Structure 1
Amino acid sequence: MSPEYQAGLYMRLSRDDGAGESASISTQRKMLRSYAKEHGFVVYGEYVDDGFSGTSFQRPAWERLISDIEAKRVNLVITKDLSRLGRDYILTGQFTEIYFPAKKVRYIAINDGYDSDSPLNDIAPFKNIVNEMYARDTSKKIRSAFQTKIREGAFIGNFAPYGYQKDPVNKNHLVIDPITAPIVREIFERADRGESPSTIADALNQRQVLTPAMYRCIRHPYLQPAEPSGRKGWTSGTICKMLKNAVYLGHVVQGKTSKLSFKSNITLSHPKEEWVVVKHMHEPLISQDVFERIKRRSVPRKNLRETDFINAFSGIAVCGDCKRNMSVTGKKGKPRSYRLVCGGYKQYGTKKCTSHSIDYDLLYETVLKEIKDLLDLTKQEKEEIKRKLRQSESIKKETFEERSAAPLKKRNREISRIIGQLYEDKVNQRISEERFYEMLASLEKEQKEITAGLRSLTERNAEREPGEQVQTCQGEELFKEISGERKLTRDFIGKFIEKIEICQSREDVHEGKCRRCQTIRIYFRTNGPSQEE
């Protein structure tokens, strides 16, 4: 017996090592226990890192073992072989050659015949190098396989984007999440109506809707929410990222980042032109038109702090020469007066453009007059348009809750069909009973989530019914805006106008008098440009 030794039995298995019987945790445990019993070592504890790579020593069980060594509770470490300790030959060598001897800890790797108490250990450094070469080769193969999957449009992320979940039948395919998909659609619909990201975030926070990070932690209890800023609510930054994410168009966008090397946790970001985009790989949550409208509008994250001023021409008014967006600036000595200036000139000076600018109120009145002239209709024509708008709105009465329900019902039918097929496969012994119950549990769990989602959508739709009268008055609201009873909004302008080009002002001499003129080109959505001087 060797009572002076308190042994720590360390076991590790990563996905890269495979799940074969020879490397499994259970096999390692039997081997280590048998070895300790045979040699009379007292086992202080067992330390298991299942699913952790050997290229990093940031593993929970390993860190616990080191703590016990520091506390002098363990003075003998036993592993199946040197590769279980680690596959980074530099760090592994530091532990075997420096750390363990300094702490008076004996180390034994059974299959490699390594015992730190034996003088015949010269081959150990070479075995550590071979172990790292194996890890390096495995890393290259895995990376190559991932690149192939990425090019094919297979989703390889650890977690599905908010609004989706991984298909239980195919983990590389995304399906709509019945719980969060309605929230995503609501965010895009609010942005399409002209609401700013901060306003949308405030509305979600008031309803205590879980953020993507918090929802992910609920779906995966082993995760801990990381909120370094201390904020656990929705922010305008989160909303902006979602509004720019093409995954909601049904596209898979990957290759945004990569690891520096297989031994490093440093992540490198790649420019947008290097991203891999594979279109139409799953069911979209929003239409291309809505996505483009929101993108074109370039809704700002927040309004000016000092005033309640909102630029109705944001993302619509552009410079007639360099085509950059016109940005808002104040007038000296006039606190509530604004003008639009060329973004290129404002940021880069004459290197990019000239000093295009226009008085904001002048542009506002000009555009309003053009729209009124375009819609200078008789009373009978207005009533006819209102009638058609009401008809159109009654068709659009299908709320986003109802539109969200359609794919959920479709998925529910698919699951019922898959479950029926599973039973048939089980009876015909095409799948094992263990696999059958595993897939059945997953599908039934998804069906329960869909049922809960449909119930929630029905309740929310019922709550909207009292506001139905407001919905049917959009035609009247449209004419109120045109007639000047309400201010022009970004949303209203976007319905009529594609873009507005502001050209450089010039001086003309007319009848002996010098006057300043400026060309404004208004591109309506249904016609060519309208030109105003």
Structure 2
Amino acid sequence: MIALYGRVSTEEQATKGYSLRNQIEECRRKANTKEIVEYVDDGYSGEFLERPALTKLREDVKGNRITKVYCYDPDRLSRKLMNALIIDDEFRSKGVDIIYINGEYADSPEGKLFYSLRGAISEFEKAKITERMSSGRKRKAQEGKIVKNHKMYGYDYDKEKAMYVVNEHEASVVKMIFHKFVVEQIGMNSIAKELTAKGVKTKTGKDVWHRQVVRQILMNESYTGDYYQNKWNTEGMIRNKYTDNPDNKIKMRHRDKSEWIPINIPQIIERTQYEEAAELLKQSRRRYAKAAVNQYLLSGLLRCGTCGNTMVGTKTTWWGKPHFIYTDRKSHAGAKHPGCVLDIKMEKLDEEVWKDVEQFVYNPELLFKYDNTKDVSMELKQAEKLKEDIKKAEKGRKKLYSLFAISDDLDEEELKKEIVELQDKQRKAEERLMEVEKEINKNKNDRDIDSIKETINELISKEDRITFDVKKSLIRVLVKEVIVEGKEKININYF
């Protein structure tokens, strides 16, 4: 219901000629509707708020019976500016618009002051609300809780715990995307097409995947378990929806990293795989626009059995001649594990792995006759070796702690450095042990032989002969990982 409010005091009627009839008629004309309730205080001073009609109007606004109020000008509500502001704010806080008819009032000194104060109070309240909300969100984040559900693919949001929980189906898709991109070296567009063809739904329930959605997943560091809040500064962006000119829009920007609030969430992707994906994304334009300068058959599949580092292909020079090798060395800035300096000739390793894989290319049925306990036995041995490395690291640290406690002659900084290195080695061995134990417990007999045959036949039929690219794809269909145990021994883990 729409309300009209009018007021006039006895003094005003006598000295200033104010007319209630004129006020009501002007309000009715402006409202332009018959569904109107009139609230009229005849002969009441505007100095006080205790007036019968105004009191009833305020009660009806609080009771949500009024949707809009028409009034001739603010001094009809009260002659005191602060009282008029209080009532104006009271109505607007209930979602009730209050419209003043007297246009001249807005141009008067009183009117300018009224609207200036109302605007200032509104801005002040808005700023206080924003500050309280921001402070509350920061406090919540500092308590290790997720402030807002960003509907991240791979996770569901537990509202009671304010935490992300793994969505097993979506997490399996995330793992597949990283595997295809990093290990199989399939482009983002092809991955998106495959997901669409398989009928996998996006987070919003759409049937079609786009390259950019796949890219966003590959770029999302949160899948490693490291999630940051208070990362983006969105101050002032709310006004963008009222601005058509793109030059006037405020862009979202990063806060300084010191202001980010880290939160631990369930991990889906290993950090090493995320970092490999990040590196490949940097090179994606070159990688997918033209052939790579140097091609490595086993890229993304190799791991050193001693230190656990992934092995990458690289070009080196011996006696002035170029040679291609796989190495576990990590010499880039910030590398935590430099590796155990294992280098092996690319040609030798490629040939050995392909010879083993080739038997399954033409006879995939052998995968099911293949003694799966061979893989499990190999992984059990690897697990035992890792456990031994962990014990050695623990024992070494205890010795160093004892030396640190009883000796005054040793270099304190050097001892600390050695302790940290052993802690690092132990942590990495423990992480690798968890991975190996997962593989041991994994059921390896749930493969679809028809699907494998179809994929292999499709790859072979593309060319008259098995080219380098076909070999590379075939290996990635069948091989999960190649563990290099020194220069003479390799272990191939099949899917």
Q: State the TM bucket, normalised to the shorter chain.
A: 0.3 to 0.5
Higher helix share: 2
Query: Normalization by structure 1: what TM-score?
Result: 0.40
TM-score norm. by structure 2 comes to 0.43
Structure number with higher relative contact order (C-alpha < 8 Å, ≥ 6 residues apart): 1
